[in-house]
Amino acid sequence: MSDMIPPMSPAQPLPGRMQALAAFIQAHADEPLTLARLADEAGMSPFHLQRSFKAVLGVSPKDFHAAERLKTFKARLRRGDSVLSATFEAGYGSTSRVYEQVNGSLGMTPSAYRAGGAGETLAFAVRETALGFLMMAATQRGVCCVQFGNSEQTLEDQLRKEFPKADLRAASPRADPDLDAWMWALEHHLARSGPRPDLPLDLRGTAFQLKVWRFLLSVKSGEVVSYAELARGADAPRAVRAAATACAANRIAVLIPCHRVLRSDGGLGGYRWGLDRKRTLLDLERATGAAEIGA
């Protein structure tokens, strides 16, 4: 067994063993990792490992490995490595496999990502709402970001952190009529003056995060779920902490209603954009009954 991870043994509690195995995968993300090899590391049968890992981490070993490999690939691109070098260092084996496996997760071509979003255009709009400044940004695929912030500059800085060399353009009715209409609809939705807009989304996350976010889209206005129910909705009932982490990673929190998730005791829990906003959104929805006013 590798020295790079904590020892695993049958006597170790299952969650600890799976966390140790996750650390092993992270340390060997650039290597081929078969289920048989991972089962040998954990001292378990492949079938038992598959079920146990997903129950604790929220994703299969294969999906976890893919996510960690993608992190390595992205880090090397951001560091300035060539696409070819990053491809092989991350363990993809060929550039064709990279384009097959990571384009959807990057939201752009690897070469564009390496350049910090160079060649990628993100249009964005910022409005001052009752809940503070709100920014919506979109690619050609759809809305990739809806965030609250303290100022227009803060929100633009956050967007530029992810895509430092992308072409960020303030939306205008003439140049970006779709985004302008989407932002208008969202403003009215939050102000209880219109229905919840059904907008195209450019979702970017791990397989488990996407499951969590898609389940959140099914939670109706005025309803709430617990973090445990959220984990069950994502087909990983024991991955409560991972479900909460997926909520925290959601960058489209107005349209993907992570504020509708509470602790099992009814407490607010956390919220990426502050508990005051979470409380306000819930109060607005309860006041309007079944009418959806926000996410």
Q: Does residue 47 sit in helix, strand or coil?
A: helix
Task: Give residue 72's pLDDT.
Answer: 80
Task: Give residue 257's pLDDT.
Answer: 92
Does this chain's domain 1-114 share its CATH topology with 121-190?
A: no
Task: Give residue 94's pLDDT.
Answer: 57
- Looking at domain 207-287, does it have CATH number 1.10.10.10? yes
Task: Show me where the domains of the chain are located.
Answer: 1-114, 121-190, 207-287
Q: Does residue 103 sit in helix, strand or coil?
A: helix
Quick one: CA dihedral 87, 90, 93, 96, positive or negative?
negative
Mean pLDDT per block of 10 residues along the chain (295 residues) reads 49 81 88 91 91 85 85 74 71 58 52 58 88 90 89 90 80 86 83 75 80 90 92 90 90 90 90 91 75 40
The residue from 144, 145, 247, 258 that is catalytic is 258
Given the candidates 3.30.70.1230, 1.10.540.10, 3.30.565.10, 1.10.10.60, the CATH classification of the domain at 1-114 is 1.10.10.60
Task: Give residue 184's pLDDT.
Answer: 85
Quick one: CA dihedral 65, 66, 70, 76, positive or negative?
positive
Q: Does residue 15 sit in helix, strand or coil?
A: helix
Architecture category of domain 121-190 in CATH: 2-Layer Sandwich (3.30)
Q: Are 137 and 143 spatial neighbours (Cβ–Cβ below 8 Å)? A: yes
Task: Give residue 4's pLDDT.
Answer: 43
Measured distance between the N- and C-terminal CA atoms of the chain, rounded to whole angstroms: 46
Known catalytic residue at 247: no
Neighbouring C-alpha atoms within 13 Å toward the C-beta of 240: 12
Task: Give residue 1's pLDDT.
Answer: 40
The answer to whether the pTM exceeds 0.85 is no
Between CA 64 and CA 177 the distance in angstroms is 39
